[in-house]
Amino acid sequence: MTVAELPTRVWVPVCAYAVLLPERGVCALVDGRQVALFRTHNGHVHAIGNLDPFTGAHVLSRGIVGSRGEEPTVASPMHKQVFSLVTGQCLDDPSVAVPTYPTRVNDGRVEVGL
């Protein structure tokens, strides 16, 4: 695939950066998808799918934010499986992952890339 063939990413504004509390998650509906947004202690914003693949419940935004080593993570509030906020990979069961979405802060607003 050449650069000209790459699809154009659409950036969807979601919320003001200031409303995201460090180490807390929020859920946003982005183009019909539930996306869990997290602002980590270092100020980075991460976005993953909000669906817990183990329970089928849309709850990951309510999970416990932490880390394993240098990897920022969220633990599901249901059965505590831990997911990487960078890759979406479940660190307790590598055969399971949730989608991840690129984020950026543009003029004080968090945007999610689709």
Q: Where are the domains positioned within the chain?
A: 18-113
CATH 2.102.10.10, applies to 18-113: yes
pLDDT digits over 43-92, tens only?
A: 999 999 999 999 999 999 999 999 999 999 999 999 999 999 999 999 99
For the cut 60, the answer to whether the pLDDT of residue 6 exceeds it is no
For the cut 70, the answer to whether the pLDDT of residue 111 exceeds it is yes
Helices H / strands E in the chain, number of each: 0, 10
For the cut 60, the answer to whether the pLDDT of residue 110 exceeds it is yes
For the cut 90, the answer to whether the pLDDT of residue 103 exceeds it is yes
User: Between vectors from CA 16 to CA 11 and to CA 66, what angle results, nearest 5°?
Assistant: 90
Give me the pLDDT at residue 8, please: 82
Contacts of 71 (CB under 8 A, 6+ apart): 84, 85, 86, 91
Give me the pLDDT at residue 15, please: 97
For the cut 60, the answer to whether the pLDDT of residue 17 exceeds it is yes
Of 31, 30, 92, whose CA–CA distance to 61 is shortest? Answer: 30
